[in-house]
Structure 1
Amino acid sequence: MHMELHENKTFSGFVLLGFSDTPHLLYLLLCFFLTMYILCIAGNVFIFILIVSQHQLHTPMYVLMGNLAIVDVFFTSIVVPRALYGLLSGDPYISTHDCFFQLFLLIVAGNMDSFLFAIMAFDRYCAVCFPLRYLLIMNRRTCICLVAFSWIIVCLHSTFYTWLASSQLFCGWAIQHFFCDYPVIIMLSCSGLSDTWQKVDLIESSIIIFSPLLLILGSYVLIIRAVLTLKSSQGRWKTFTTCSSHLTMVILLYSTVIFMYFRPSSIYSPAYDRAISIVFSIINPTLNPFIYSLRNKEVKDAMKKMLG
């Protein structure tokens, strides 16, 4: 079979080994995946409906939060239903087309999260540092342009990586994961990426992943500097409270991204990758709406109003 794959890369598909090495955890994993998926859908859809229905939340920050809720539902839905199907049916097979389509959607959704966080950080910077001009800067047209530009960038980025992965010659078919992720697919390549493509890979991925992070960090340095000049301690506390929920989500996202995609190859293990992937693709999108609703006074007030 290895020889056949080496001679002809147009084979029919891959095998997602997933959690096949832990059959004793089958029912526990089923309950966990299903519970987290229901919580993710319920939490994010509720936040989206809350933002749409409550007029006081029709501001740029909450419009961006609504976009984030939809992306998080999209992100988790790319991973969890297929994982649940594999656990319930015992069928590990995934066609080549479905695998690369899942990879494309996964890269789009994962990177869109970080771009939305960057736009939200810029929004907070404008609100804190330019309060009188805030609605002029972050108007409807600006928000639409920033979000549309982000979608274009992440789709182009994902197209490049999906093409790069799909153009490889594969000498294996068993993916040591529960979904089709870029690093585990490249590991099946007969020769791996050439030195040139490895450099392009590193440079391009670093720009796409860390540019939003640098914008977020730069925005918060300026925000903190502006907040420290406020004379009112109540004003400082309110600003820090509003920004802390956003920063918490950023830390959760980037800590898992760095551990997942920028860790030394010497510490690679399938179990390690699966654990980090669960946090990255399931737990983080589930926690995001709860972090915002529990730590944001305006959201809590809107919830009380909507619930009577």
Structure 2
Amino acid sequence: MPGRPVTIGATVAPAAPGSGIPTGSVTFDPGDGTPPVTAPLTAGSASITHTYAGTSGSPYTITAVYSGDADFTPSTGTDTQTVGRAATTTAVVSAPDPSSIGQSVTLTATVASVSPGAGTPTGTVTFSFGDGTPTVTAPLSGGVATIAHTYTTKTGSPFPITATYNGDTNFSASSGTDTQTVNKTATTTSAVSSPNPSLVSDPVTVSATVSPVAPGTGTPTGTVTLAITDRTPQVVTLVNGTASATFSPLPKGTLTVTANYNGDVNYATSSASIIQTVTPGQA
């Protein structure tokens, strides 16, 4: 496999009826375009260590050329070396984890060769987010691929994340998994009443607006419970993040107005309160 040292050896022997032990050197050509290497014969044998950088051209033709000496003529031998793709591992992590609805999450995949293989894998990694959205493929740079993804719901959390390395000429495919937890997004609720102050005879409209807290995004849904002191609360459905209700008549005095957002699948509850001042109307 690429990056794994290979020992190439040659044995030189006299052809019958000759005898003795050849001396001199052997020149090895690994067959991958790298320069030949010459090694001395010791007791009729010579060897070198060579590392193939890739699989393109495998199986490689190895040639060993004995240069001859004063008593023995030159000779040549050949063999082949098959270099397969190196195995890999893929690890994937997400951050931040946990995250909120609408918050950007960074997914990072790291692909490495498995020993005794060596080198840096190239190619692409395909990310699956586990939320039903389409997969996304990103290029490796220095063995690392990174993308950003935004989860729009917490239904299904924790989501299974998969990063699949697609392999290249020298490195085989592999995959890694992780999970991403998506929590409800925090919200803020604001309330206003109009008119304020008012007369006891005035209809007073209470409006509530519910918004996600950054880095969360989106529009909360569900209902808001609107209430004024000594009056029956009204549960109103949010429309584009806003709900309103009218209360009439109201008792005179300083009244408390409350707006309680009841939350939904993706957004957490929140509340707000203000003061409504009511003065007597004309007799």
TM-score of Structure 1 vs Structure 2, range by shorter chain: under 0.3
Structure whose CA Rg is larger = 2
TM-score (norm 1): 0.17
Higher strand share: 2
TM-score, normalisation: structure 2:
0.19
Q: Which has the higher contact order (CA 8 A, sep 6+)?
A: 1
